[in-house]
């Protein structure tokens, strides 16, 4: 019975809240109380431990501060692998994993980038299982990274960004764009920010980044003015930095922020998709072009590793050209 409950909850987890899952679990338990449920003989006797270990692993990732969106991705990959591999966890080998990834790519038509992302998530799970002594060795150890073409993400040029700003129609849009560009915040950090997080005297903003780590970012005078004008227009009592226009003026979600930025990009006639992370990327590139030290930018962006920040320098041929010309 426990196996059936675990399987139902794992299948439904991507589409329901924890509160809803608890209600479903209670309903299943009550409905099945008068039945004697046994697994088919064709299923391995210990298959249930796979579901249980997945649930425990995801709980650990959640406790470590992994965002809900990323948790959902992990849950989906692990669930699909478990359903496609009728084995107990101790018997899984590298060929099971290769077969799963190849079949998934063939049936779903995904690219190598997505395929490698799935490989990374499976590797994280099985590495933990190995480190915890649940399995004797990591079957992913001999599954090589999948090569794919890495497209250079071009930031908005100064002209494109100016055109983008000019196509903001509301004060909320102007404040939102100015805030993301000034701070370089991730969209999840923008969603979570509150008005009281801003210190106007120092023009600093306390944000909570990945792993629930706090850091200070800063707003320039232009962003401070746009935010002040936006707050003066608001009639709500929500502490959130950005809220919906309609009553009851709830905190603006990640998807809502993404939609706003996308629509402004369309109005501006920018012939590619514009999204919040591209504004963050644009801010980083423009700061590097103005000679901001890499370690300072790393701190502002909340990167654990300087290698992550260096991507902005590597993907910036204009900066490389300027540095070359200055040293010639």
Q: Where are the domains of the chain?
A: 39-142, 158-326
* 277 in catalytic set: yes
Cross-strand bridge partners of residue 218:
204
Specify burial of residue 242 (Cβ count, 10 A radius: 0-12, 13-18, 19+). Answer: buried
> pLDDT for 225-280, tens place per residue?
999 999 999 999 999 999 999 999 999 999 999 999 999 999 999 999 999 999 99
Per annotation, catalytic residue among 55, 210, 249, 251: 210
Whether 281 is catalytic: no
More confident residue, 152 or 298: 298
- Please enumerate, as own/partner, the contacts of 267-271 that have beta carbons within 8 Å and a separation of 24 or more: 267/167, 267/169, 268/160, 268/163, 268/164, 268/166, 268/167, 269/163, 270/156, 270/160, 270/163, 270/164
Whole-number Å distance between alpha carbons of 177 and 171:
10
pLDDT given for residue 172 in this prediction: 98
Q: What is the mean pLDDT of residues 176-191?
A: 96
The angle, 0 to 180 degrees and rounded to 10, between the axes of the packed helices 2-12 and 18-31 is 150
pLDDT band at 207 (very low <50, low <70, confident <90, very high): very high
List the structure tokens of 283.
């801010």
Q: For residue 310, what pLDDT is reported?
A: 77
Q: Which of 121, 174, 280, 281 is catalytic?
A: 280
Q: Note the CATH number of domain 39-142.
A: 1.10.150.130
75 in catalytic set? no
| CATH superfamily ID and name for 158-326 | Intergrase catalytic core (1.10.443.10)
pLDDT in the model for residue 28: 75
Q: Clarify whether 186 is annotated catalytic.
A: yes
**Per the residue annotation, which of 172, 186, 286, 287 is the catalytic one?**
186
Give catalytic status of residue 312 as yes or no: yes
Q: How far is CA 168 from CA 43, 45, 121, 193, 218, in A?
A: 58, 60, 38, 21, 22
Average model confidence (pLDDT) for the chain?
A: 86
Q: Distance between CA 304 and CA 164 in Å, rounded?
A: 30
Q: What are phi and psi of 71, to 5 degrees?
A: -60, -40
Tens digit of pLDDT for each residue in 90-135? 889 999 999 999 999 998 889 999 999 999 999 999 999 999 888 8
Show the tokens assigned to 147.
Answer: 């090569």
Cβ–Cβ < 8 Å for 205, 198 = yes
pTM of this structure: 0.64
Strand partners, 240: 194
Rounded CA separation 328/324 (Å)? 6
The two most distant CA atoms of the chain are separated, in Å, by: 83
Mean pLDDT, rounded, for 39-56? 62
What pLDDT does 321 receive?
A: 58
Residue 246 tokens read as: 């309609």
Q: Is 280 a catalytic residue?
A: yes
Identified catalytic residue from 48, 61, 281, 303: 303
User: How does residue 23 score in pLDDT terms, banded at 50, 70 and 90?
Assistant: confident
Among 8-12, 46-50, 277-281, 307-311, which range has the highest average pLDDT?
Answer: 277-281
Give the integer Cα–Cα distance in Å for 327 and 320: 11
Give the model's confidence band at 31: pLDDT under 50 very low, under 70 low, under 90 confident, else very high. confident
Q: Which of 56, 234, 262, 277 is catalytic?
A: 277
User: Is the predicted pLDDT of residue 204 greater than 80, yes or no?
Assistant: yes
Pick the catalytic residue from 57, 161, 230, 312: 312
- Distance between CA atoms of residues 100 and 121, nearest Å: 13
Q: Which residue has the higher pLDDT, 34 or 213?
A: 213
């Amino acid at each position: 019975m426990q196996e059936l409950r675990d399987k139902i909850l794992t299948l439904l987890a991507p589409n329901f809240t924890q509160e809803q899952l608890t209600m479903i679990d209670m309903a299943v338990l009550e409905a099945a109380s008068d039945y004697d449920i046994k697994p088919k003989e064709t299923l391995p006797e210990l298959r249930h431990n796979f579901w249980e270990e997945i649930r425990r692993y995801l709980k650990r990732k959640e406790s470590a501060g992994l965002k809900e969106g990323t948790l959902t991705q992990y849950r989906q990959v692990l669930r699909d692998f478990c359903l496609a591999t009728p084995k107990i966890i101790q018997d899984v080998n590298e060929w099971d994993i290769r077969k799963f990834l190849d079949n998934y790519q063939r049936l779903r038509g995904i690219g190598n980038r997505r395929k490698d992302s799935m490989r990374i998530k499976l590797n994280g799970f099985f590495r933990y299982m190995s480190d915890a002594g649940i399995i004797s060795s990591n079957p992913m150890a001999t599954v090589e990274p999948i090569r794919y073409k890495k497209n250079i993400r071009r930031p908005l040029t100064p002209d494109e960004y100016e055109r983008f700003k000019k196509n903001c129609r509301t004060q909320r849009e102007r404040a939102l764009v100015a805030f993301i560009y000034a701070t370089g915040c991730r969209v999840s950090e923008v969603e979570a920010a509150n008005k009281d997080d801003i210190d106007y005297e120092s023009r600093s903003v306390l944000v909570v980044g990945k792993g629930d780590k706090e850091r200070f970012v800063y707003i320039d005078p232009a962003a401070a003015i746009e935010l002040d004008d936006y707050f003066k227009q608001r009639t709500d009592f929500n502490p959130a930095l950005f809220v919906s226009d309609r009553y009851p003026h709830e905190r603006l979600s990640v998807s809502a922020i993404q939609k706003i930025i996308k629509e402004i990009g369309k109005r501006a006639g920018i012939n590619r998709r514009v999204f919040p992370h591209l504004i963050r990327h644009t801010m980083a590139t423009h700061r590097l072009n103005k000679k901001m030290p890499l370690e300072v930018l790393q701190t502002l962006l909340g990167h654990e590793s300087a290698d992550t920040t260096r991507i902005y320098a590597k993907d910036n041929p204009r900066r490389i050209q300027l540095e070359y010309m200055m040293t010639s």
